[in-house]
């Protein structure tokens, strides 16, 4: 398997994580970026922000990758998690559950009848019709929070949502992406990995 670039750092273990663990940055056959962190108790971390905290090398000591670390079974766990998540998304009955709450609220906002007819709203609505990564969800949650506390009205919130869509360069999913096939083991490759050992 093409392992790409690997490194290792030593740092304290966060609560609930058993080090050593490995962060994998992978790509699917369609070029989608997928991240996973697997610890030595086979716990899998899937949230991008949690993974960034675990794998952040800032302030951590660089160390050699342990010679006895067998990446193959660890990668197999990560790959199974990626495939399971992807393949579960293909179930049409789960579509609504796949869209995070921040995006469901946003799509309801963009369809309010009191908003002016604007092509940007339609494009943003369609672009948020599939689940997006944590940074997008966080940005949308900030808009929702300001709307709910009265800092901005519906029209301003809709404009800010469109700005988030533009900032992250989100596009409506293509028919090919919506109708994609299930992932198989051969559809994933590792771009890079980082081992985190106990400091």
**pLDDT confidence of residue 93:** 52
Residue 175 or residue 15, greater confidence: 15
pLDDT digits (tens, 9 = 90+) for 127-180: 998 888 889 999 999 999 999 999 999 999 999 999 999 999 998 876 444 446
Residue 105 and residue 71 share a domain:
no
- Helices then strands, counting H and E runs in the chain, come out as 8, 6
Query: pTM for the full model?
Result: 0.59
Which range marks the domain in which residue 53 is found?
A: 5-90+184-198
* DSSP letter, residue 39: E
pLDDT digits (tens, 9 = 90+) for 19-30: 999 999 999 887
Residue 72 and residue 18 share a domain:
yes
Structure tokens at 95: 């579509």
Length of the chain: 199
Residue 159 and residue 111 share a domain:
yes
* Dist. CA 16–CA 14, nearest whole Å: 6
Residue range 76-101: mean pLDDT, rounded: 78
């Amino acid at each position: 398997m093409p392992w790409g670039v690997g490194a290792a750092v030593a740092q304290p273990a966060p609560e609930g994580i058993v080090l050593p663990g490995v962060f994998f940055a992978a790509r699917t056959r369609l070029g989608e970026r997928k991240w996973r962190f697997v610890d030595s108790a086979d716990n899998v971390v899937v949230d991008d922000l949690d993974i960034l905290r675990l794998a952040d090398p800032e302030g951590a000591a660089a160390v050699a990758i342990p010679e006895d670390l067998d990446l193959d079974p660890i990668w197999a766990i990560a790959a199974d998690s990626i495939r399971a998540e992807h393949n579960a998304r293909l179930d049409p009955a789960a579509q609504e559950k796949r869209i995070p709450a921040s995006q469901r609220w946003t799509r309801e906002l963009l369809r309010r009848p009191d908003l002016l007819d604007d092509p940007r709203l339609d494009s943003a609505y369609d672009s948020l019709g599939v689940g997006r990564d944590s940074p997008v969800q966080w940005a949308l949650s900030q808009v929702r929070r300001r709307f709910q506390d009265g800092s901005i009205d519906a029209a301003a919130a809709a404009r800010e949502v469109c700005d988030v869509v533009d900032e992250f360069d989100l596009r409506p999913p293509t028919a090919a992406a919506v109708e994609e096939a299930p992932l198989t083991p051969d559809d994933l490759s590792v771009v890079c990995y980082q081992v985190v050992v106990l400091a």
